[in-house]
Amino acid sequence: MSRIAYVNGQYVPHKDAAVHIEDRGYQFADGVYEVCEVWNQHIIDMPRHFDRLDRSLRELRIAWPATRKAVEFVVKEVVRRNKVNSGLVYIQVTRGVARRDHFFPGDDVAPSIVVTARNTSPAAADRQAEAGINVVTYPENRWPRVDIKSVALLPNVLAKQHAKDNGGKEAWYIDDEGNVTEGGSTNAWIVTGEGVLVTRPADSGILRGITRAVVLDLVNREKIRFEERPFSLEEALSAREAFVTAASTLVMPVVKIDDRIVGNGHPGTVATALRHLFHTATDLQKV
Ligand code: PDD
């Protein structure tokens, strides 16, 4: 089956989909993105992802490329046209195409939008979750505005490649105080020896993950003991459990941090329960 992408108003074969060489996303990483999970032909938490997209656009003073309703329609249509049952849909908006100049272009330049979607294997992801993943630590070296979901992901690319080169699936950023901020493309969590779930507050240093927000809803609903506070690498190394969250991984147990085994070396009960319960707490929109 041929894949279809949406580029600036048109549905085009994925292999031919292209943006102009002077798109500011390409020249300056001057753009933002969202990734939503598609689950059994439903888009997961679209309102929350669109709220965050709206916020990212506002922070960077980029206009919506079309009305929110129109973009929602396109997102569903791209999922439908690609016959995605379970997978991911990607939305990217940049400041548009203009002669290369650092200053913002005039109001006559329209933002660019690209939407793509693809199937992923839920069975493979579940197998991965049953084994757990290794994370590799990396010094926090990103700009302070990581709350904006910008396409400027070079530090994340380098951190994640470092993790991969060292046998990990994810990097954990460690800040100057020795605290874990987040993963290269995930939020970070631990369960302490006393059984308390801990994640860093989202007011600075991390992206306010949508999956994180759903897990917080679940934690309240299931009355799981929980603290929102920074945690150090040292505390993570002596934790009972660790896991990461993102639209692309859902709740994914962590069994090793660098060369140190977490807990008993197997996915923890809290992470596993949260993974199983996850879709009972999400907003589901049929495509
Ligand atoms: N990444 N932190 C970072 C740096 C991220 O890039 C992501 C998401 C998250 C989790 O956010 P959410 O739960 O809303 O997916 C946290 C996406 C999936 C990506 O870049 O592929």
Q: What ranges do the domains of the chain cover? A: 4-120, 125-286
Question: How far apart are alpha carbons 10 and 112 in whole angstroms?
Answer: 12
Q: Count H helices and E strands in the chain, helices first.
A: 8, 17
* pLDDT value of position 257: 98
CATH number of 125-286: 3.20.10.10
Query: Which residues are annotated as catalytic?
Result: 149
Residue 44 — left, alpha, or beta (φ > 0 → left; ψ -120 to 50 → alpha)?
beta
Q: If you take atom 9 of ligand 1, which residue's CA is the nearest one?
A: 186
| Cβ 12 under 6 angstroms from ligand 1 | no
* pLDDT value of position 63: 98
* pLDDT value of position 180: 98
| Cβ 142 under 6 angstroms from ligand 1 | no
Question: How far apart are alpha carbons 109 and 97 in whole angstroms?
Answer: 7
Q: Which residue in the block uniquely carries the two structure tokens 């085994």?
A: 261
Mean pLDDT estimate for the chain: 98
Question: How far apart are alpha carbons 203 and 282 in whole angstroms?
Answer: 22
Neighbours of 130 (CB within 10 A): 12
Strand segments (E) across the chain: 4-7, 10-13, 31-39, 42-44, 87-94, 112-119, 133-139, 170-174, 179-183, 187-191, 197-199, 226-228, 231-232, 241-246, 250-257, 260-261, 284-286
**For domain 4-120, which CATH number applies: 3.30.470.10, 3.90.1210.10, 3.40.50.2000, 3.40.50.11540?**
3.30.470.10
pLDDT single digits (tens) 6-21: 999 999 999 999 999 9
Is the pLDDT score of 54 beyond 80? yes
Kindly state the tokens that stand for 26. 């390409």
Mean per-residue pLDDT, 47-75: 98
Question: How far apart are alpha carbons 160 and 138 in whole angstroms?
Answer: 9
> How much of the chain, in percent, has pLDDT values that exceed 90?
99
Residue 283's identity, in one-letter code, is D
Q: pLDDT band for position 225 (50/70/90)?
A: very high
Q: If you take atom 4 of ligand 1, which residue's CA is the nearest one?
A: 185
- In degrees and rounded to multiples of 5, residue 271 shows phi and psi of -60, -45
Mean per-residue pLDDT, 201-217: 98
Neighbours of 74 (CB within 10 A): 19
Buried b / exposed e across 239-257, counting CB within 10 Å, b at 16+?
Answer: bbbbbbbbbbbbbbbbbbb
| Cβ 199 under 6 angstroms from ligand 1 | no
Is the pLDDT score of 1 beyond 80? no
| Cβ 181 under 6 angstroms from ligand 1 | no
Kindly state the tokens that stand for 152. 């400027």
Distance 105 CA to ligand 1 centre (A): 29
